[in-house]
């Protein structure tokens, strides 16, 4: 087997009694777009800073093409970096900002001029060489930062929430540009965000961070359709959770009792066997269906609200025990016509699309 391009092996980082990163490992292929996705404080930036060499890990190793990077100082790692805040030198022009990494590498003037031009072309800012950063929009400034990070053709580019200071429209526009630049240059990108939509839009694979550890690594569709933990199920896509009791389990599937006599079979079950049999059943709103006739394995609920969302209609329902369950049905779905608040209906679902977590 060929060696992985970039390998993160059991990285840990503690600050006194605070453990920022517990045990992070992953292999990244050359040219891959890998995203670290997770809530605030889950260790995404710390892991990225360790890769960049701004922080030393408490334990573990990082290998680039099989060689440890840890003894190489940050400025010699040849890794490009773009941060959340604009970090351009305000007194330098755009051209001088982009030229900076080449100047400290003492490249000849003719090469610098040529590469700066090419980098600005790549981020679609040709002709902006003499502009000062203060006279540019936030999106333009982040493009300059991107050009500066890519100007010396680093094999790896790290980006820490580079779009979070931008408004939604600009963010989507630059997401598109980042995808294009990734495809054009083939650079390996490690990207940090806490926005699941951004992660799904950009990434080849996503590493879901929770409390300093990775819960799961996979493509967007893998994480959505086969979440390994309750946390991943709640973080990728929309989800409902319902308390359940495991009645029987066999080969990764469970028979669950949902209370009030409702019983379902063949639900994928994740996690160890627990003594009390308590589990949490995850149901995607778009995988639920609604029936007016009583269904043996259905969940009896009361309709609370009906909201038109364009392509979809969201029906908010609640069980007798007061658990809210959202159902999303395509516009025009026959079950919705004349559906009224306060009506009692049954929710049904394909058991293979549900997941239970112990």
Ligand X SMILES: Nc1ncnc2c1ncn2[C@@H]1O[C@H](COP(=O)(O)OP(=O)(O)OP(=O)(O)O)[C@@H](O)[C@H]1O
Asked if 38 contacts 192 with a C-beta cutoff of 8 angstroms, the reply is: no
Q: Is 44 in the site for ligand X (CB under 6 A)?
A: yes
Q: What is the CA radius of gyration of the chain?
A: 25
Q: Is 41 in the site for ligand X (CB under 6 A)?
A: yes
Q: What part of residues 20-39 is at the interface with ligand X (CB under 6 A)?
A: 20, 38
What is the rounded distance in angstroms from the CA atom of residue 228 to the CA atom of residue 207?
12
From 37-45, 114-122, 288-296, 328-336, span contacting Mg ion (CB under 5 A): 37-45
Question: CA-CA-CA-CA torsion for 328, 331, 335, 337, nearest 10 degrees?
Answer: 130
Residue choice 7, 35, 45, 317 for contact with Mg ion (CB under 5 A)? 45
Least distance CB 191 / Mg ion (angstroms): 12
Least distance CB 197 / ligand X (angstroms): 16
What is the rounded distance in angstroms from the CA atom of residue 68 to the CA atom of residue 70?
6
- Count of CB atoms within 10 A of residue 18's CB? 9
Q: Is 262 in the site for ligand X (CB under 6 A)?
A: no
Q: Is 17 in the site for ligand X (CB under 6 A)?
A: no
Q: Which helix (H) or strand (E) holds 231?
A: helix 230-235
Residue 18 interaction partner, one of Mg ion, ligand X, none, beta carbon < 5-8 Å per kind = ligand X
Least distance CB 32 / ligand X (angstroms): 20
Nearer to Mg ion, 100 or 191 (CB): 191
Q: Is 18 in the site for ligand X (CB under 6 A)?
A: yes
Write the binding mask 124 to 143 for ligand X: x where contact by CB under 6 A, - elsewhere. --------------------
# chain residues binding ligand X, by CB under 6 A: 12
Residue from 202, 196, 262 nearest 235 by CA: 196
Q: What DSSP string runs through 266-305?
A: EEEEES---TT-EEEEEE-GGGEEEESS--TTPEEEEEEE
Q: Is 57 in the site for ligand X (CB under 6 A)?
A: no
Nearer to ligand X, 93 or 211 (CB): 211
Nearer to Mg ion, 7 or 45 (CB): 45
What is the rounded distance in angstroms from the CA atom of residue 63 to the CA atom of residue 8?
7
Q: Which residue has tokens 């926005």? A: 195
**Start-to-end Cα distance in the chain:** 36
- Footprint of ligand X (CB under 6 A): 15, 18, 20, 38, 40-46, 194
């Amino acid at each position: 087997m060929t060696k992985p391009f970039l390998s993160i092996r059991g990285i840990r980082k503690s600050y006194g009694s605070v453990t920022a990163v517990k045990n992070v490992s992953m292999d990244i292929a050359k040219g891959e777009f890998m995203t670290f996705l997770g809530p605030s404080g889950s260790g995404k930036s710390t892991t990225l800073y360790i890769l960049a060499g701004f922080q030393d890990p408490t334990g573990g190793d990082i290998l680039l093409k099989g060689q440890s990077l840890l003894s190489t100082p940050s400025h010699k790692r040849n890794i490009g970096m773009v941060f959340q805040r604009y970090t351009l030198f305000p007194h330098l022009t755009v051209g001088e900002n982009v030229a900076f990494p080449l100047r400290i590498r003492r490249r000849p003037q003719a090469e610098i001029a040529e590469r700066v031009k090419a980098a600005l072309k790549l981020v679609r800012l040709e002709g902006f060489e003499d502009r000062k950063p203060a006279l540019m929009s936030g999106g333009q400034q982040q493009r300059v930062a991107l050009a500066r990070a890519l100007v010396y053709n680093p094999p790896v580019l790290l980006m820490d929430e580079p779009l979070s200071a931008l408004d939604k429209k600009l963010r989507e526009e630059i997401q598109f540009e980042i995808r294009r630049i990734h495809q054009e240059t083939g650079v390996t990108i490690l990207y940090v965000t806490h926005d699941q939509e951004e992660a799904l839009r950009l990434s080849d694979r996503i590493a879901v961070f929770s409390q300093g550890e990775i819960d799961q690594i996979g493509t967007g569709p893998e994480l959505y359709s086969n979440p390994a933990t309750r946390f991943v199920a709640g973080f990728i896509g929309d989800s409902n959770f319902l308390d359940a009791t495991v009645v029987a389990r066999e080969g990764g599937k469970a028979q669950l009792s949902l209370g009030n006599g409702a019983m379902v079979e063949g639900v994928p079950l994740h996690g160890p066997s627990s003594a009390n049999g308590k589990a949490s059943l995850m149901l995607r709103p778009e995988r639920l269906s609604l029936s007016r006739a009583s269904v043996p394995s259905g969940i009896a609920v009361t309709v609370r609200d009906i909201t038109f969302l364009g392509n979809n209609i969201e029906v908010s329902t609640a069980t007798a025990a007061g658990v809210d369950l959202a159902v999303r049905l395509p516009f025009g779905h026959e079950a919705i016509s004349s559906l009224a608040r306060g009506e009692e209906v049954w929710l049904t679902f394909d058991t293979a699309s549900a997941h239970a977590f112990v």
